[in-house]
Structure 1
Amino acid sequence: MYESHFGLQEAPFALTPNTRYFLRAPSHADALELLLVALGEREGFIKITGEVGTGKTLLCRLLLNELDGKACTAYVPNPQLPPEALYESVAEELEVDLSGCDNTHQVLKALNQRLLERAGEGTPVVLVIDEAQAMPEQTLEALRLLTNLETERSKLLQVVLFGQPELNVLLARDSLRQLRQRITFQYHLAPLDGGSVAQYLRHRLSQAGYNGSDLFAPAALRLIARSSGGIPRLVNVLAHKGLLAAWGQGARQVSRQHVWQAIRDTDSVRRPGLLGRWL
């Protein structure tokens, strides 16, 4: 749409997670480092939380890429499943043949055999669950029981939970205290600060092929940072709509006025009347 007008090879602010656009901003870089260190230590449970739109799914995919060739991974993007379906989903991800399994006990036995095989090969197995706040309580308890599978020396399965802050509320239930106690590492993703928002925008533009002068005016950058609250998904939405507004007027740079148009057209951002004298 506006790509050729601004000298872009592709749309830079698509909402679909793309690891090529990952910016190692302080909070996200720290979270990735913690994940890799904790998994290297063969810890059982690791938890990453963050508000909607802070980049959890992107970080999740980046982790899976980092583990490629180093670990056997199972990825469950929609964990709103009963316990039996969770076991079957994990088994499918680990390429376990369940054709001869008629009940949950047999599925677990087959899973345990596969985990033992991987352990014998020296290959760690990592289960990554996105949107973990949606897991039913019974399924979370079933997940804990799944991690009871172990040898005398180490756990056979490591679990990484990605979720919204509601996951903390869920895990705070007394009935889930055993699982909560097994979470040895945890991290909460923070929104981008003002400087990181500017860096984030420039990084994505560069990845999309832009190599000209600043495409967003300084005032536009400040307004995007303030109105988005540093939430990457909202930064993407406002930047995209700002580019649309500038393109529609034939402008070569996104101004504060273009961002104002984007704000008025976007829910979930801080409204102009609440921005106060900062502007």
Structure 2
Amino acid sequence: MYDEHYGLADRPFQLTPDPRFYFDSATHRKAMAYLGYGLAQGEGFIVITGDVGTGKTTLVAHLMETIDRARLNVVQLVSTQVGADDLLRLVAQTLGLATEDVAKAQLIDRIERRLHDSARAGKRTLLVVDEAQLLGRDALEELRMLSNFQGGGQALLQIFLLGQPEFRAALNGEERLEQLRQRVIATHHLDPIGADEVGPYILHRLKKAGWTGNPAFTADAFAALHAHSAGVPRRVNMLAGRTLLMAAVEEATTIDARLVEAAAADMAKDDLAAPDRPAEAAVIDSGLADRLAQLEARLYAQDARLEEQDAVLKRVLSLLVEWIESDDRSGRYPRSVA
């Protein structure tokens, strides 16, 4: 592995979000300002959106390291395509509540009691919901209702919603989400990092991993990294990791544009891209795999729900016909006379 070859103590370009490697780019700095403002308000919703790989999860993980856990109880969940009732159960479970065989009204009561208990202990509760674009309108409405809980004139629950760009579009365009929109006190969309930030980003992550200057990077290497990744942090990590691997194989002490281009061409041969596609398009599109998988899962879930609803409707109609025919045979309904 390249980390051993270059004497690194850690993997600088791992894809798993890690707050240790948080980089304070212009867009992330602005997002932190909005998050800090929202936390100071202590109520409502804070919405952070961004394309796949722009660092939403890392941003929140970094924020969590800066807060006072003695005063703020943070619970997190990654939303799936669940209905409103199931979402309530997920929220209850993150709060440590039992949910098996519990009616909805009782579940809401237990959640409110737990929030009051935290407030009496001097803690506000923050719920962080990732992948918010997968939540339906009814589920979002349940979250809004939970945000209404108050004690002593203060909100008991504040909610962060992290989602992809389609969530921002749905939130702004869905008329029936107007009440939720009115509860949003801060929002920010994460952009890719700029061309002038790729170099500092790369060096920042390397230094966190114990880099002491070997290998060195040329200016054109950073330019190539940005050109092939469009500045999306996860794509930068993918390409930088592959470039370092190739450099280690060649025992190179300097990484230049040639090595980056070679790594990009190598990635173009992977299954994520068709053989005849250019290397740049291959790396830029690699982040779309997650979104395609999510869209496929959403379509599958919708089909399953429609099939289930169709089966229930057919069963109800069948029972209705049987009931009418039974009453007809018993003489309760007179037959029509020609």
- Give, as a single letter, the amino acid of the residue that structure 2 aligns with 1:215: A
**What is the aligned partner in structure 2 of residue 146 from structure 1?**
146
**What is the aligned partner in structure 2 of residue 93 from structure 1?**
94
Q: Against the structure 1 CA distance between its residues 129 and 272, is the aligned structure 2 distance closer, same or farther, given a 3 Å change threshold? A: closer
TM-score w.r.t. structure 2 length?
A: 0.75
Shift in Å, 1:123: 1.1
**What is the aligned partner in structure 2 of residue 276 from structure 1?**
none
- 1:16 and 2:8 matched: no
Q: Secondary structure at the match of 2:217?
A: coil
**What is the aligned partner in structure 2 of residue 199 from structure 1?**
200
**C-alpha distance in structure 2 between counterparts of 1:106 and 1:270, whole Å:** 57
- 1:227 and 2:234 matched: no
Shift in Å, 1:98: 4.3
Deviations 1:211-231 (A, max 9, x none): 125622211111101221111
**C-alpha distance in structure 2 between counterparts of 1:201 and 1:69, whole Å:** 34
**What is the aligned partner in structure 2 of residue 109 from structure 1?**
109
**What is the aligned partner in structure 2 of residue 49 from structure 1?**
49
Structure 2 contact 215–253 (Cα < 8 Å) conserved: no
Q: Secondary structure at the match of 1:95?
A: coil
**C-alpha distance in structure 1 between counterparts of 2:99 and 2:79, whole Å:** 21
- Give, as a single letter, the amino acid of the residue that structure 1 aligns with 2:219: P
- 1:76 and 2:77 matched: yes
Shift in Å, 1:78: 2.8
Shift in Å, 1:70: 3.0
**C-alpha distance in structure 2 between counterparts of 1:91 and 1:272, whole Å:** 45
- 1:130 and 2:130 matched: yes
Structure 1 contact 28–59 (Cα < 8 Å) conserved: yes
Q: Secondary structure at the match of 1:64?
A: helix
Structure 2 contact 229–280 (Cα < 8 Å) conserved: no
- Larger helix fraction of residues: 2
Deviations 1:120-179 (A, max 9, x none): 233111000011111122211111111121235121110000111110122121121111
- Give, as a single letter, the amino acid of the residue that structure 1 aligns with 2:50: G
Aligned residues: 273
Bigger shift: 208-217 or 101-110?
208-217
Structure 1 contact 53–232 (Cα < 8 Å) conserved: yes
**What is the aligned partner in structure 2 of residue 25 from structure 1?**
25
Q: Against the structure 1 CA distance between its residues 74 and 37, is the aligned structure 2 distance closer, same or farther, given a 3 Å change threshold? A: same
Which has the bigger relative contact order, CA under 8 A and spacing at least 6? 1
Q: Against the structure 1 CA distance between its residues 22 and 215, is the aligned structure 2 distance closer, same or farther, given a 3 Å change threshold? A: same
**C-alpha distance in structure 2 between counterparts of 1:152 and 1:33, whole Å:** 28
Q: Against the structure 1 CA distance between its residues 215 and 251, is the aligned structure 2 distance closer, same or farther, given a 3 Å change threshold? A: same
Q: Against the structure 1 CA distance between its residues 109 and 158, is the aligned structure 2 distance closer, same or farther, given a 3 Å change threshold? A: same
Q: Structure 1: where are the runs of 5+ without partners?
A: 274-279
**C-alpha distance in structure 2 between counterparts of 1:72 and 1:152, whole Å:** 18
**What is the aligned partner in structure 1 of residue 298 from structure 2?**
none
**C-alpha distance in structure 1 between counterparts of 2:45 and 2:278, whole Å:** 36
Shift in Å, 1:271: 4.6
Shift in Å, 1:36: 2.0
**What is the aligned partner in structure 1 of residue 6 from structure 2?**
6
Q: Structure 2: where are the runs of 5+ without partners?
A: 282-338
**C-alpha distance in structure 1 between counterparts of 2:14 and 2:211, whole Å:** 15
- Give, as a single letter, the amino acid of the residue that structure 2 aligns with 1:36: G
TM superposition outliers: structure 1 runs of 4+ over 4 Å:
266-273
Q: Secondary structure at the match of 2:75?
A: strand
Structure 2 contact 214–254 (Cα < 8 Å) conserved: no
Bigger shift: 11-20 or 57-66?
57-66
Q: Secondary structure at the match of 1:73?
A: strand
**C-alpha distance in structure 1 between counterparts of 2:157 and 2:141, whole Å:** 15
**C-alpha distance in structure 2 between counterparts of 1:214 and 1:34, whole Å:** 37
Structure 1 contact 220–255 (Cα < 8 Å) conserved: yes
Residues 253-272 of structure 1: pairs in structure 2 closer than 5 A: 253-264=254-265, 265-266=267-268, 271-272=279-280
- Give, as a single letter, the amino acid of the residue that structure 1 aligns with 2:125: V
Shift in Å, 1:106: 0.1
Shift in Å, 1:272: 4.7
Give percent identity, aligned residues only.
35
TM-score w.r.t. structure 1 length?
A: 0.91
**C-alpha distance in structure 1 between counterparts of 2:87 and 2:189, whole Å:** 25
What do you get for the CA RMSD once the two structures are aligned? 2.2
